[in-house]
Amino acid sequence: MAITLNNGFKLPVIGLGVWRMEGKDIRDLIINAINIGYRHFDCAADYKNEAEVGEALAEAFRSGIVKREDLFITTKLWNSDHAHVVEACKDSLKKLQLDYLDLYLVHFPVSTKHTGVGETGSSLDEDGVLEIDTTISLETTWHAMEDLVSVGLVRSIGISNYDIFLTRDCLAYSKVKPAVNQIETHPYFQRDSLVKFCQKHGICVTAHTPLGGAVANNEWFGTVSCLDDPTLTGLAKKYKKTVAQIVLRWGIQRNTVVIPKSSKLERLEENFLVSDFELTKEDMDVIKSMDRKYRTNQPAKFWGVDLYA
């Protein structure tokens, strides 16, 4: 299953996110995922594991279990590199051992103090507040992203964590339209207006926290996941599926791409097996009624400023 992007490239609707995946586990994770059938991997410079992902991908290509052209690889420009887009992209490509990226995203709509290409620092001032760079506009950053397409380093470019206003602006000033907006969206934080706005204007929406963050966001941000909600556990029993499978299927039926993360083989397999059933319109509506407008990914905890305020 894949969604055709506004430039004709196809993005698999199920991917594997590698946030918080650590060194020695990544090789097995990537190889196992490829063997299961995953063809879409979501990375980021800020995850600080591109080199390990690159080693695993190189092994997969060498062994012949998959070809480069069979995979869709995404990574992201960090906030501190908005004035160094080309250099940052080349740094990610080197670490990933790739000649091109399928998709390169602006990770957050904010430029911060430069800390060195690929260093992905979040420099804080003496009050513990993120040092935002006010000299670089998002438009300037975007035009540098467009240059990556022109020179063949990247096939598609997109945005991440952009709201309706910023997405509209990007559509207005772009020569190459954003192919994707990667946002947090799940049953507790559905963001229907943003999702529909993007889709209306030809931008594919990818859910970077499709299961509501689960254990990862609980550990980092103290937030709760929707996976324990009795409504969803009831639907899981009805369809004889896991709660995660129900939530991922809901995301796919909204025409969004989902990129759950898991380091457990059993979960990797479960999360991928969501094409053999369909939620009824009534059950889609039940899940729609669960929206709490509840964001679970809260970087303000580390940045000393709420960029969503």
Residue range 208-248, pLDDT digits in tens: 989 986 655 455 545 678 888 999 999 999 999 999 999 99
* Residues 6+ away with beta carbon under 8 Å from 285: none
End-to-end CA separation in angstroms for the chain: 36
Which range, 119-123, 194-198, 267-271, has the best average confidence (pLDDT)? 194-198
**114 marked ligand binding residue:** no
- For 289, left (φ over 0), alpha (ψ -120 to 50), or beta? alpha
Query: CB burial class (10 A; 0-12, 13-18, 19+) of residue 35?
Result: middle
Q: What is the mean pLDDT of the chain?
A: 92
Residue 306 has pLDDT above 90, yes or no: no
pLDDT at 104 (0 to 100): 98
The rounded Cα 131 to chain-centroid distance in angstroms is 24
Q: Which residue has the higher pLDDT, 299 or 50?
A: 50
For residues 86 and 147, give the distance between their C-alpha atoms in angstroms, rounded to a whole number. Answer: 8
CA distance 258 to 162: 17
Q: Which two tokens stand for residue 210?
A: 């499709």
Q: Mean pLDDT throughout 163-167?
A: 97
Residue 190 phi/psi, 5-degree rounding, is -80, -35
Neighbours of 272 (CB within 10 A): 18
Strands of the sheet with 40-42, listed across from one edge: 16-17, 40-42, 72-77, 101-106, 154-160, 180-183, 204-207, 257-258
Of 47, 104, 162, 188, which is the active-site residue?
47
pLDDT of residue 203 exceeding 60: yes
Work out the percent of the chain whose per-residue pLDDT is above 90: 75
How many residues appear in the chain? 309
Residues 80-122: tens digit of each pLDDT: 999 999 999 999 999 999 999 999 999 999 999 998 898 878 8
Please give the average per-residue pLDDT across 3-19, as a whole number: 95
Is 38 marked active-site?
no
pLDDT at 218: 53
For tokens 């869709």, name the residue.
Answer: 72
Q: Look at residue 256 and tell me whether its pLDDT is greater than 70.
A: yes
* Contact by Cβ (8 Å): 45, 91: yes
C-alpha to C-alpha distances, 193 to 161, 164, 185, 189, 291, nearest whole angstrom: 14, 8, 11, 11, 12
pLDDT of residue 216: 54
* pLDDT score of 235: 96
